[in-house]
Amino acid sequence: MKIVVTFLLVLLAYTFSPVYGASDELEFEPASLQQVSTTYMLEGTVEAELNTTISAQTAGNVQKIYFDVNDYVRKNEVVVEIDNKQQSSSLKQAEAALKEAIARRQEARAEFNRVKKVYDEKVVSKSDFDKAKAALQSAEARVESAQAASEKARQQFEYTLVRAPFSGILTHRLVEPGESVNVGTPLVTGVSLEKLRVITYVPQSILKAVRQHRYAIIVTEDSEIVSTDMVFFPFADPNSHSFALRVRLPDTYNDLLPGMHVKIAMEVAREPKVVIPFSSVAFRGEVTGVYVQQADSIQFRYVRLGRRLDKNEVVVVSGIEANEYIITDPVAAAIAIKHEPQE
């Protein structure tokens, strides 16, 4: 009989005792007062900083095009090859002329050294010495001229292999194999994916605030990109009275492509706001609230939320004051309230 009574007492004690023996076993965090930015949402378009047309730097017929539209091209890869027969012939002639000029200079130097020696011995006249010296100087000048002609010919030969100035995407082919091109003829166009920026238009009403804060958040489907590197156009569009703004994206970010549409949150003000952990918010149908620790009790408080911040934080518009203690786990708080003893 004594064993049965003891078991019943233990069972009753377990049933009517709180699940969380005391509220101090719950985790609390004070609502903080933080400087939160007020933003103005704009529409923007991603564009490439480097968008260039590659033109021919020598004349000839297009022999081969190695890439098609939308192909990825690495820096210094050959994009277009121009027939090099004429340039190769010119290069050979220039190199032969250079060899001849060098040989003539060697002869002139040897003659000058011979004349100088006998001139020092006063065997020949000064006029003979001057003629030898002038011949050497003339030979050296011809070598310099031949070197310049050879370098020019080599450069024209190298121009027959048109290389990509940067890595990127080929967007247009402006010539086809077999076409004749001259210096300056456009060949292909391309864009670089390494340096991107967003172009948007700022209304006149917020221009001063945007220029002052210079803080933009590019909002995509997957992330938010912060940038403070921006360029304001110093004149307004006469029809919309808005100012063009270019916001540069970080070089390390490569998930966007030219032509994409994005949202841009421009900071126009910064003021203190009450911020709490988003995970502490309890959603009960259409009711939103948090559990607040007051003295020795827990109170469910209705709140109106503002903008969601990074790092699991959300702004509270009303319902909570700074430094009030919020229970970070709303489920545990609800259970603790349910099992609190009634007075």
pLDDT digits (tens, 9 = 90+) for 29-44: 888 888 887 888 999 9
Does 325 have pLDDT greater than 60? yes
Mean pLDDT of 101-126: 89
Positions of CATH 2.40.30.170 in the chain? 40-49+194-269
How many CB atoms lie under 10 A from the CB of residue 122?
8
pLDDT digits (tens, 9 = 90+) for 158-211: 999 999 998 889 999 999 999 999 999 999 999 988 888 999 999 999 999 999
pLDDT digits (tens, 9 = 90+) for 133-146: 999 999 999 999 99
Does 1 have pLDDT greater than 70? no
Across the chain, mean pLDDT equals 85
pLDDT digits (tens, 9 = 90+) for 273-291: 899 888 889 988 888 999 9
Q: At what angle do helices 126-158 and 85-120 cross, to 10 degrees?
A: 160
CATH superfamily, with its number, for domain 40-49+194-269: Efflux pump adaptor protein, beta barrel domain (2.40.30.170)
Q: Supply the pLDDT for residue 12.
A: 36
**∠ Cα 6 11 15 (to 5°):** 150
Global model pTM greater than 0.95 = no
pLDDT digits (tens, 9 = 90+) for 211-268: 988 888 888 877 788 888 999 999 999 998 899 999 998 876 667 888 889 999 998 8
Which neighbouring-strand residues pair with 61? 180
Please check whether residue 43 is in contact with residue 260, taking contact to mean a CB–CB distance below 8 angstroms.
no
H or E element at residue 145: helix 126-158
d(CA 120, CA 128): 12
Q: Supply the pLDDT for residue 17.
A: 37
The architecture in CATH of the region 55-82+161-193 reads Beta Barrel (2.40)
Please check whether residue 255 is in contact with residue 219, taking contact to mean a CB–CB distance below 8 angstroms.
no
Q: Supply the pLDDT for residue 24.
A: 54
Domain at 21-36+273-338, CATH class: mainly beta
Positions of CATH 1.10.287 in the chain? 84-159
Q: Supply the pLDDT for residue 257.
A: 84
